[in-house]
Amino acid sequence: MDHATLPIIIFILLFSGFIITMIMLTKRGKEVFLRPINGLKVIDDAIGRAAEEDRPIMFNLGFDDLSVNLFCSLAVMGYVVRKAAKLSMPVYVPLAQPLAYAMAEEFWKDGYAAMGKEGMFAVEDCLRYMSSNQSALGAGIAGWIKRDHVGANFMFGTYGFESMMLAEAGQQAGAFQIACTPSFYQVPFFMVSCDYTVFGEEFYAAGAYFNRDPVLTGSLVGQDYSKLVLLILIVLGSLLLTIFQKTDYLRLLLQW
Amino acid sequence: MSKRNILKIIAFVVGLYFFLEYILPEKVGGEFDSYEVGCPVTVERSGKKLQFYVGNYYKGRGIIGRMVKSSGKWVKDAKPCLQRSLFLKFDQYGLTEPDAVSAPEGLTLLYLGQNEKEPVLCYAVSEDDGQTFRKKGPVVISTNEVFKTFENAPNGQIPDRIKSFAADFRNGLWEVYLFTMTYRVWRAEGPDLKHLSLEAAPIVSSTLTEKSPNSFDVYSEGGQPVLVYVMDREILEFRRSGNDWESKSWKAPKGNGTNDTVYAGGRMDVGEGVLYLGTKKMQKGRPIDSPYETQLASVALRDRGDGTPLAPEMSVYKKVGASPRPTYLSYGTEWAGKFLTVVGSFAIFIAMINLMLFHGKKIYQSALNYNAPAGEDKLPGGGAPMRNFIKNAGYSAVFLIFLAVMIVCAWKGQTDEAKGTVWKTSFDFLFNAIQLPMGSAVFSMITFYMISAAYRSFKVRSLEAGFLMAAAIVCMVGQMPIGELLASLVPESWKLLQLPWLSGKLLSVLNAAAYRAVLIGTLIGSVAISLRIWLGLDNSVYSSVD
């Protein structure tokens, strides 16, 4: 593993400072504006539509093993499971990673238990470890979507080429589809097949939209300040490098 | 204290450990040479026999370590004696090809500093027999234009680049021999390493060997330089004879520690002999990119006349698969990695049980329904027992049978003795003739999915969809031969209408800029959520606790 260099340490500390400061400010009551993200706002609508049509819900966690991406997806999954449990709807969770299976099972059970619906659906019927092989995972989930006529298909997390298979299977089954991924190269596939696609840093903001917890909203604002600093540095650096390209020390500093 | 708070404290402590491990520079302890060792050189100073070598804790990050010969054994220092710089640009990416010289101002270590451009010849001086060095920066040679890069060469000059070098200090003067990429050898001389003058012409103007040597050294014999070229284990010595160079060659003995490469590692007092140092790399059974099993060894040729070798002696030994440990804290992260592997193995077991339970349950329920009269079965489509059984449980049965067969074949067929047995053959057949082709078949299905998706998305319903359609057409046609053909019909000055050029710009400018913007956002987002989890601020992660 590569180790942090001094600039990286400085940036990490700076960004952490922004995020923690904004969390503290929002905890003290500072009002913050959250830009609405359509893909996240319609999650309730998707669950409601599936319930009206009496069709099951599927929540895909992608290929993430133990990582921050998995935690983000699990947080949203917990919300979807609780909403579905309220309406006595089953939530199917196909899994690609054994470690993710163990964690998802806890979140899934907890979601139903929170609504007093534990035992309503069997775990082995709803949570299924498919395969860590992309082809097998894609084929397995596509078959599951079509066989059970899934009404709402959520695809959160990191995906590879199987994204197209899942999204198209959902499209053919007529499911309401929402994709939310940090995998940049899968975004076009999701965009053409899903009703709503959320990507980039909005994936990490998903949790903040379901409960206006000051910690989550504050960290979002802190992220925005960090991006602002980077934007200024990029613009300033490009300008200075263009103007002073003959000055070796300045170029060295900018390259650093 | 609640279970949730205990978990938060554990997460914080573990996270702090990992964070510190990441931000500590690699100079803070650790095995700096755990990946690979090489390029040994030797020197005598204050009656001590010293050996310096390049150690990598990770591929291509050379830093220099020291060994001292004590009671007939080479003893390695725990810490490296010379590190790469974090800020100085000449050796930011590592140090290679060291040469040690005992000079009056102190033990001097010359090395090639790796950086983002060409390697730079640098030096460092030690006042404590090589335990620590103070960097002095690049060696300054007059007529430095000769060693500028090809791109920066002034008109009419033939530039060159240093590949290897040898240095010596004699009669109050520094002598540096530079072996270049074009196989020439230049000589520079001066009172100190900041004021060296390059001779007007190279002492060797073309290659003396057919193959490029992997190590180069020079020593003096009766005031004349003797050039030492080493190719793998072949050692060639060149002495001047009139205008030509006469060669004498030996093969280094193949033995303990010298199977791979021998380095021209300097001279040491071993009677009349010249000392060469060797390395041995063991790669058998080595996973890709794992650390080499490498050892340094000394090989002495006792007599230059007949080349009788002394027994090689081993000096550093690395184990196969030893993980790089760049800092003291890396031991903990290595242990955590192993812990995660063990937990992952248990998780696979649980996931397999889940699969077997699901499919076993389906078969059991279908078997219960097998003879059920039409309308009384618990599963849909009753009436034709066998057809329903196959429909409802056929796949599950096939899955369980193949799972059992694969486990047994893998269990019995993975040993070396199992080669050619029915277990190994069956396992290979199931894997190569069924699993791989089926994977390829599934992958190829994506093409059809893409076509149906493209058909929907290329309907121009809005302005954005129109842009998408236009960009897609430009990129597709720009990559095809017809794009080149169409471009040839457009004048050169009308670049904007040339589809290959336009497609290239769309991908390399617009797309790359958008990608980087998204990447920056994604990375900052992941920093934020990591911080929330680490500091126990994000309760959604702990929602299933309590």
> Which pLDDT tens digit goes with each residue over A37-64?
888 888 999 999 999 999 999 999 998 8
Q: How many CB pairs under 8 A join A and B?
A: 180
Task: Report the alpha-carbon distance of residue A201 to residue A180 in Å, rounded.
Answer: 10
Structure ipTM: 0.87
Closest CA to B266 of B156, B401, B196, B167: B167
**Pairwise CB contact (< 8 Å): A226 & B446:** no
Any idea where the domains of chain A sit in the sequence?
6-34+212-255, 38-210
Residue A173 pLDDT class (50, 70, 90 cuts):
very high
Domain boundaries defined on chain B: 25-328, 334-447, 463-542
What is the predicted pLDDT for the residue at A142? Answer: 92
A46: its two tokens? 């998707």
Answer whether residue A152 shows pLDDT above 90. yes
pLDDT at A178: 94
Which amino acid does the sequence have at A167? A
Chain A residues whose CB is inside 8 A of the B543 CB are: 75, 78, 107, 110
Alpha helices in A115-213 (DSSP H): 123-126, 134-148, 162-172, 187-193, 202-210
- Please say if the pLDDT value at position A77 is more than 80: yes
Task: Please name the residue of chain A whose CA is at the shortest distance from the CA of residue B450.
Answer: A164
> Using CB atoms, which residue from A68, A74, A167 is nearest to B526?
A68
B437 touches chain A (CB under 8 A): no
DSSP for B295-344 reads EEEEEEES-TTT-PBPPPEEEEE--TTPPPB-STTHHHHHHHHHHHHHHH
pLDDT, one tens digit per residue, over B465-476 is 788 888 888 988
* Residue of A24, A65, A129 to mutate, testing the B interface (most B Cβ within 10 Å of its Cβ): A129
| Cα A241 to Cα A253: distance, rounded to the nearest angstrom | 10
Task: Enumerate the residues of chain A whose CB falls inside 8 A of the CB of residue B355.
Answer: 128-129
Q: How far off is chain B from A124, nearest CA to CA, in Å?
A: 6
Average pLDDT rounded to a whole number, residues B57-80 = 79
The answer to whether A204 and B528 are in contact (CB under 8 A) is yes
Q: Say if residues A31 and A127 touch (Cβ distance below 8 Å).
A: no
Question: What is the C-alpha to C-alpha distance for residues B258 and B260, in angstroms, rounded to an integer?
Answer: 6
Q: From CA A89, how far away is CA A91, in angstroms rounded?
A: 7
Q: Which residues, in sequence order, are CB contacts of B376 under 8 Å at separation 6+?
A: B382
| Arithmetic mean of pLDDT, B511-515 | 88
Dihedral of the CA atoms B182, B186, B192, B197 (nearest 10)? -110
Summarize the confidence of residues B515-526 as an average pLDDT: 89
Please say if the pLDDT value at position B26 is more than 70.
no
Q: Is the CB of residue B351 less than 8 Å away from at least one CB of chain A?
A: yes
The nearest alpha carbon in chain B to A205 belongs to B525
Average pLDDT, whole number, for chain B?
77
Choose between B381 and A172: higher pLDDT: A172
Minimal CA separation from A68 to chain B, in Å: 6
B513 CB within 8 Å of a chain A CB: no
Please compute the mean of the pLDDT values over residues B205-228 and round it to a whole number.
79
Higher pLDDT, B459 or B152: B459
Beta pairing, strands B185-190 & B197-198: antiparallel
Output b/e per residue, B513-531; b: 16+ Cβ within 10 A. Answer: eeeebbebbbbbbbbbbbb
Average pLDDT over residues B119-128: 89
Cβ pair A192:B529 closer than 8 A: no
Per-residue pLDDT of B238-250, as tens digits, reads: 888 877 888 887 7
Q: Regarding the domain delimited by B25-328, which CATH topology (the fold level of the hierarchy) does it fall under?
A: Tachylectin-2; Chain A (2.115.10)
Residue B80, token pair as written in the block:
């490296």
Tokens 């309907």 found at: B459
Closest chain B residue to the Cα of A222, Cα to Cα: B528
pLDDT band with cut points at 50, 70 and 90 for residue B375: low
pLDDT at B412: 84
**Least confident segment among A7-11, A188-192, B27-31, B346-350:** B27-31
pLDDT at B102 over 50: yes
Interchain pair B350, A98: CB under 8 A:
yes
Condensed to tens digits (0 to 9), the pLDDT of residues B252-298 reads 666 555 555 666 666 554 444 555 666 655 544 444 444 455 556 55
B109 vs B129: CA distance, rounded Å: 11
Check pLDDT > 90 for residue A212.
no
The pLDDT of residue A232: 93
- The whole-angstrom separation of Cα B518 and Cα A17 is 22
- Of A136-150, A174-188, B242-256, the range with the lowest mean pLDDT is B242-256
Residue B353 at interface with chain A, using a CB cutoff of 8 Å? no
Could you tell me which residues are beta bridge partners of residue B297? B278, B314
- pLDDT greater at residue B303 or residue A255: A255
Distance, CA of B438 to CA of A126 (rounded, Å): 26
- Helix-then-strand count for chain B, H and E: 9, 20
Phi, psi (deg, nearest 5) at residue B121 = -75, 120
Decide if B524 and A138 are in contact by the 8 Å CB cutoff: no
Classify strands B234-241 and B224-231 as parallel, antiparallel or unpaired: antiparallel
Helix (H, G, I), strand (E, B) or coil at B164: strand
Q: What is the mean pLDDT of residues A97-101?
A: 88
A-contacting residues in B 298-327 (Cβ below 8 Å): 324, 326-327
E strands, chain A, are 57-60, 91-95, 127-129, 152-156, 176-181, 196-199
- Of chain A, the percentage scoring pLDDT greater than 70 comes to 93
Domain spanning A38-210: CATH 3.40.50: yes
| Mean pLDDT, residues A155-162 taken together | 91
A153, pLDDT greater than 90: yes
Write the DSSP symbol of residue B155: T
The residues with which B49 forms a beta bridge, in sequence order, are B44
Q: What is the pLDDT of residue B303?
A: 46
DSSP sequence for B21-43: HHHS-TTSSSBTTSSEEEEEEEE
Residue from B406, B25, B449, B467 nearest A165 by CA: B449
Helix, strand, or coil here: A129? strand
Residue A48: half-sphere exposure toward Cβ, Cα within 13 Å: 5
- Tell whether the model's pLDDT for residue A26 goes beyond 80: yes
For residues A77-83, give the mean pLDDT: 91
| Rounded CA separation B374/B384 (Å) | 8
**What residue type is B520 in one-letter code?**
I
User: SS in 3 state form for A199-227?
Assistant: ECCHHHHHHHHHCCCHHHHHHHHHHHHHH
| Per-residue DSSP letter, B185 | E
8 A C-beta contact, residue A201 and residue A177: no
Contact flag B453-A167 (C-beta cutoff 8 Å): yes
Query: What is the predicted pLDDT for the residue at B302?
Result: 44
Candidates B28, B334, B356, B531, partner chain A, best to mutate (most A CBs within 10 A): B531
**Tens digits of residue pLDDT in B340-366:** 888 888 888 888 888 888 888 888 888
Average pLDDT over residues B491-498: 81
For residue B144, the model assigns a pLDDT of 55
**Quick one: pLDDT band at residue A170, thresholds 50, 70, 90?**
very high
The closest alpha carbon to B84, from B99, B66, B65, B103, belongs to: B65
Question: Which has more pLDDT, B387 or A28?
Answer: A28
What's this model's pTM, rounded to 2 decimal places?
0.68
Beta carbons of B409 and B426 less than 8 angstroms apart: yes
Does the pLDDT of residue B151 top 60, yes or no?
no
